[in-house]
Structure 1
Amino acid sequence: MPFPTLVAILDVLVARWTAQDVLRLLPAHVGGLSDAAAATQVPSWLTVVTGGVLVGASFLFNSLLTDHKGIRAVNGWHAVLPSPAVFWRAGATLLSAAGVAVLALVLAASVLGPSTPTTNLAILVVWVGWWAGYAMSTYLVGNSWPVVNPWRTLARVLPTSSQRPYPERYGAWPSVAGLLALVWVEVVSPLAANPQALGALVAAYTVATLAGAARYGTDTWFGRVDPVSRVFRLYGRVAPVQRGPDGLQLRLPGAALTDLRTDDEPGSTAFVVALLWVTTFDGLVATPAWNALAGPLLSPVAGNGVLGGAVVALFYLVALLVGFGGFLLAYRFAAARSRERVDSFLAPSVVERWFAPSLLPIAAGYHVAHFLGYFLTLSPALVGLLGAPFGGVDTVQVAVLPAWFGTLQLALVVLGHLLAVWVAHALAIELFPGVLRPIRSQYPFVVVMMVYTMTSAWVVGQPTVAPVYL
């Protein structure tokens, strides 16, 4: 990539935005596109306590289920879905072509479309259609991203003569850094309000991704490095549709998480924790409590131009990293206490990796609770723009959510955590022999899950607000 081009992209993303610009757009990241989503009318303390109690009660119920063969039979049940090879190949080709076409449309609409976020197709496709709608499909239905991924499709035509082996010591840590970086940029930059900034980021991501695939190979890059591909692959393990040795299978939601396989790459557990944390952080920064915390600290720099904007961005980066570190330490503490409770000789890292899949239903449950309202609210606007991708829509159509929708959001959070408790129970009986040892091993994890549940329920129950420190 020529250096002047990179400078121009960075200038669009950062340099022209002052501290006030950054602060004004913080609540507009993704969810800020919709004004229809509202907090539940249930008191916050009641939702928090109820979520924690339900998770604790589900653990007590699961502890009564000591029939190992029965639990394995439930998780192992599957039905083979008809998937003719000819139909699969034609469908895969069509989906791959559609993915590339949508990428091209997003880049074009970011430049040629109107500047108003709710009338710009690039904004709505990325945040409503892809990160909200499509992402939900990966854990509610099945992961089709390896076929849809436009960057993977484009990378297949790249030359392979200059490929190098991927350093094994890196493991999944580049994916962890990439995920945290993407969420940080999403939060502190005008990606949900400025189509040109979004287009610049998509273009930069395209260049970086294709360069990485050319250097390390398509399968290696999208299998081990690319954070988006790893997110959808992990989400896909929660889904009821899985690929098995005999073709596509229909399984119980989350059952694939109990398959006896662990990802032993360095940083693989940290990525699961990061996935859980970034969705929580995404909602946390638009709550009144965050305003009360950040307001006194950031108000003095709000009028200091570009330097102030850099200070604000750095503040949010530190908060993102500190929160991730706290979530990771809490999980590692639980894994260490679990190992001690059963006098296991297994290495702590083994226990951490073994139970990491149980966190994925929590991440999926919070994601659907956080984004379902935005998707339903703005889907009519997205559909209306398909007929006029570069403008021409006078009236933006949005859906108005019913008053009980906030309660549904909380229910989705709790359902994700209940599924996580079941997965942890099933994994425990495979790792530790006997009847009581698997149950005792879960005590620390249940405490951590209750904390995660109560935190998520509290964030979902808060109203979305703009920063008061402008």
Structure 2
Amino acid sequence: MLGVAWWLSAGVGRAAAHSGGLRGATRDPVAVPTWLFLLTGGGVVGVSFLLASFVTDRRLVAAIHDWARPLPTPGRVGHGLASTLGVAVLAVTFGVGILEDATGVRNLAVLVVWVGWWGGYVASTYLLGNTWPALNPFRTVAERLPTLDRPYPDRLGAWPSVAALLLLVWVEVTAPLADDARLLATALAGYTAVTLVGAVVFGPDRWFGSVDPLSRAFRLYGRLAPLGIADGRLRLRLPGSDLPDTRLDGAGDVAFVVALLFVTTYDGFVATGPWAAGVRAVAGVGVPPLAAYLAAYLVGAGLFYLAYRAAARVGRRRADTYLSVGELARRFAPSLLPIAAGYHLAHNLVSVLVLGPTFVAVAAAPLSPPPSPPQLAGLPGWFGGLEFAFVLLGHLLAVWVAHATAYELFPSRLQAVRSQYGVTAVMVCYTMLSLWIVAEPYVAPPFIAS
């Protein structure tokens, strides 16, 4: 699988590389000095921590997170229809990707993957609820295959899903999957083959519960969403209210949450002007551009993880607790999910809206798409402010989730507040980095994008 990924990323030439390359609109620079803009955003998160610290009534915090209302629960028929729909969409995407010569946004396969799925569906898992267990076409097929039920090595934990997530996003960023529909179909076929083989060897429950990165990501995002399943019943709850009760099993689970935050950040970072200038300078002295992308990718992922571990260490020291650094890291990691969701929404919203009419027009005639499919034009000037708002709202919700988690962990109010010092500092840094990326005009990543 690693060899296939390297071939996809190294032998692709220059073409539109990732979902950012589908953007039909550009962003104007912010009207205030960047340093002031970033400090303001970081300050908002810091102030929100101070305000949350005044909410010390445990019964109030518990009441907020326990609030829920039951809703009608879809039955077997609804689940069956969703499963059929998932398989049908996968088959159509693969078929159109192979059969249709149209490239870029004139190909339905490209639009389904990057606009419908990566931009729209992923957002639905944290804005509405996780429907992937019903829609998942890979699991639908896997459950109809015989299984060997080999024991999964427990020592591996969630680390294979971390590696798989990093690999998937690396291919997404560096390979021209947003332009070459046949290459996209090939990658999709490869992912399907690996998934089905893994499910046959270890069993669907174990594979999709421990290894498959998409299932894990959507399961975590579903904990953030206002709709969720509890005791077999669908219920409405406040966004993020299930995150303080989310239990992660080990360091691999923590690394996956941090990686989920990092990969979207990296996807945006490589589409900024400073990165373009930096990678051109590095290439000018003889360093292969792909090596520079890979080095930044691996170093960035490592730094994100180390920064979070350092935050947990600071929290343990400031709270003066017997709880280990690993335990604090596991308990506070779910509070990072609203940050990942807010940045994903900010990063992809424009693409989904601008290319929505394109999706409809191409879907109406997938094998004979119009030569110039329509796009939404003329987004109002204030619309760019929504992207910044999504980033900030995600961070503000993250602060509250960390606050609620601390009050579940510690009997002392002072301990609860002090335990958040490290994770709040990291959130401020993440906020400023995310806002900087969102504020930067889109620049096609050099050497891997035309």
The bucket for the TM-score relative to the shorter chain is over 0.9
| Pick aligned residue for 1:444 from 416, 422, 447 | 422
Matched, 1:297 2:282: yes
Is the contact made by 1:277 and 1:327 (CA closer than 8 Å) also made in structure 2? yes
| Pick aligned residue for 1:17 from 6, 12, 15 | 12
Is the contact made by 1:295 and 1:467 (CA closer than 8 Å) also made in structure 2? no
Shift of 1:164: 0.2
Name the aligned partner's letter for residue 343 of structure 2. Y
Matched, 1:93 2:80: yes
Question: Matched residues in 2 for 1:165 and 1:266: separation?
Answer: 21
- C-alpha distance after superposition, 1:166-198 (max 9, x if no partner): 100000000000000111111111011111110
| Pick aligned residue for 1:409 from 378, 384, 387 | 387
Matched, 1:30 2:25: no
- Describe how 1:31-46 pairs up with structure 2 within 5 A: 31-43=20-32, 44-46=34-36
- Describe how 1:248-259 pairs up with structure 2 within 5 A: 248-259=234-245
Shift of 1:387: 1.2
Question: Matched residues in 1 for 2:234 and 2:335: separation?
Answer: 23
Shift of 1:222: 0.7
Matched, 1:230 2:216: yes
Q: What residue number does 2:71 align with?
A: 81
SS in 1 for 2:374: coil
Name the aligned partner's letter for residue 410 of structure 2. F
How much identity, in percent, do the aligned residues show? 51
TM-score in terms of structure 2 length: 0.95
Q: What residue number does 1:114 align with?
A: 101
Question: Matched residues in 1 for 2:37 and 2:308: separation?
Answer: 23
Name the aligned partner's letter for residue 397 of structure 1. P
Name the aligned partner's letter for residue 144 of structure 1. T
Question: Matched residues in 2 for 1:14 and 1:71: separation?
Answer: 48
| Pick aligned residue for 2:268 from 283, 308, 311 | 283
Runs of 4+ in 1 over 4 A off after TM superposition: 9-12, 467-470
Matched, 1:53 2:43: yes
Shift of 1:12: 7.5
| Pick aligned residue for 1:145 from 109, 129, 132 | 132
Tell me: CA distance 1:458–1:15, structure 2 relative to 1, closer, same or farther (3 Å). Answer: closer
Shift of 1:466: 2.4
Is the contact made by 1:122 and 1:195 (CA closer than 8 Å) also made in structure 2? yes
Shift of 1:391: 2.2
Matched, 1:211 2:188: no
**What is the total number of aligned residue pairs between the two structures?**
446
Name the aligned partner's letter for residue 30 of structure 1. S
Question: Matched residues in 2 for 1:128 and 1:392: separation?
Answer: 16
SS in 1 for 2:236: strand
Is the contact made by 1:132 and 1:372 (CA closer than 8 Å) also made in structure 2? yes
Question: Matched residues in 2 for 1:158 and 1:202: separation?
Answer: 19
Name the aligned partner's letter for residue 433 of structure 1. P
Shift of 1:392: 3.2
Q: What residue number does 1:431 align with?
A: 409
Shift of 1:17: 2.8
Is the contact made by 2:24 and 2:355 (CA closer than 8 Å) also made in structure 1? no
Name the aligned partner's letter for residue 134 of structure 1. Y
Name the aligned partner's letter for residue 20 of structure 2. G
SS in 2 for 1:82: coil
Name the aligned partner's letter for residue 113 of structure 2. V
Name the aligned partner's letter for residue 59 of structure 1. F
Name the aligned partner's letter for residue 12 of structure 2. W
Name the aligned partner's letter for residue 275 of structure 2. W
Of residues 396-405 and 210-219 in structure 1, the stretch that sits farther from structure 2 once superposed is 396-405
Name the aligned partner's letter for residue 45 of structure 1. W
Question: Matched residues in 2 for 1:415 and 1:295: separation?
Answer: 35
What is the RMSD of the two structures over their aligned residues, measured on CA atoms? Answer: 1.9
Runs (5+) with no aligned partner, structure 2: none
Is the contact made by 2:251 and 2:330 (CA closer than 8 Å) also made in structure 1? no
Shift of 1:318: 1.7
Runs (5+) with no aligned partner, structure 1: 302-307
- C-alpha distance after superposition, 1:92-124 (max 9, x if no partner): 111100110111111111111233211000000
Q: What residue number does 1:381 align with?
A: 358
| Pick aligned residue for 1:421 from 399, 403, 409 | 399
Of residues 390-399 and 422-431 in structure 1, the stretch that sits farther from structure 2 once superposed is 390-399
Question: Matched residues in 2 for 1:15 and 1:409: separation?
Answer: 33
Shift of 1:11: 9.7
- Describe how 1:299-318 pairs up with structure 2 within 5 A: 299=284, 311-318=288-295
